[in-house]
């Protein structure tokens, strides 16, 4: 499918899809005339990208994650450590947010 169809099927703009390709998260085939051609797996990849972006991950890490998921051998060795680091960062963020929410709850309780 061409980029316009992928955009329609995923609800992601053509511009964003080109950015995902630039960052290495999508790898379409090119026709001799230069058109991008995506296979069916691109729909699922875009869904994964959107989910990971919503979780706060950056595009460089997302490209690495997708490459690891696809079994791209050069990235497999460092992938686990990088994912664990990102998980620790997220856990720390969650803990900070949870602490702030608890403080707000206490303030709200004291004003009742």
Tens digits of per-residue pLDDT, 14-67? 999 999 999 999 999 999 999 999 999 999 999 999 998 998 889 988 988 888
pLDDT at position 45, please?
A: 92
Mean pLDDT of all residues in the chain?
A: 89
- What's 80's DSSP letter? H
Into how many domains does the chain fold?
Answer: 1
Distance CA 73, CA 88 (A): 24
pLDDT at position 15, please?
A: 97
- Are 17 and 46 a contacting pair, CB within 8 Å? yes
pLDDT at position 69, please?
A: 74
Can you list the alpha helix ranges (DSSP code H) found in 1-72?
3-10, 14-22, 41-54, 59-69
pLDDT band at 78 (very low <50, low <70, confident <90, very high): low
Bridge partners of 30?
36
* CA distance readout (Å), 81 to 61, 86, 112: 12, 9, 47
pLDDT at position 20, please?
A: 97
Higher pLDDT, 78 or 38: 38
Contacts of 14 (CB under 8 A, 6+ apart): 3, 4, 7
Structure-token pair, residue 107:
């303030």
pLDDT at position 73, please?
A: 52
- The CATH number assigned to the domain holding 52 equals 1.10.1660.10
pTM: 0.73
- Are 75 and 67 a contacting pair, CB within 8 Å? yes
Look up the domain containing 63 and give its range: 3-110
pLDDT at position 36, please?
A: 94
């Amino acid at each position: 499918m061409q980029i316009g169809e992928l955009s329609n099927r995923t609800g992601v703009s053509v511009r964003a899809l080109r950015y995902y390709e630039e960052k290495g998260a999508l790898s379409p085939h090119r026709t001799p005339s230069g058109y991008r051609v995506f296979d069916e797996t691109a729909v699922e990849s875009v869904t994964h990208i959107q989910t990971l972006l919503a979780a706060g991950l950056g595009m460089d890490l997302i490209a690495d994650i997708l490459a690891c998921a696809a079994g791209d051998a050069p990235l497999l060795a460092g992938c686990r450590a990088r994912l664990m680091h990102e998980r620790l960062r997220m856990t720390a963020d969650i803990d900070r947010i949870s602490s702030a929410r608890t403080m707000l709850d206490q303030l709200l309780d004291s004003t009742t």
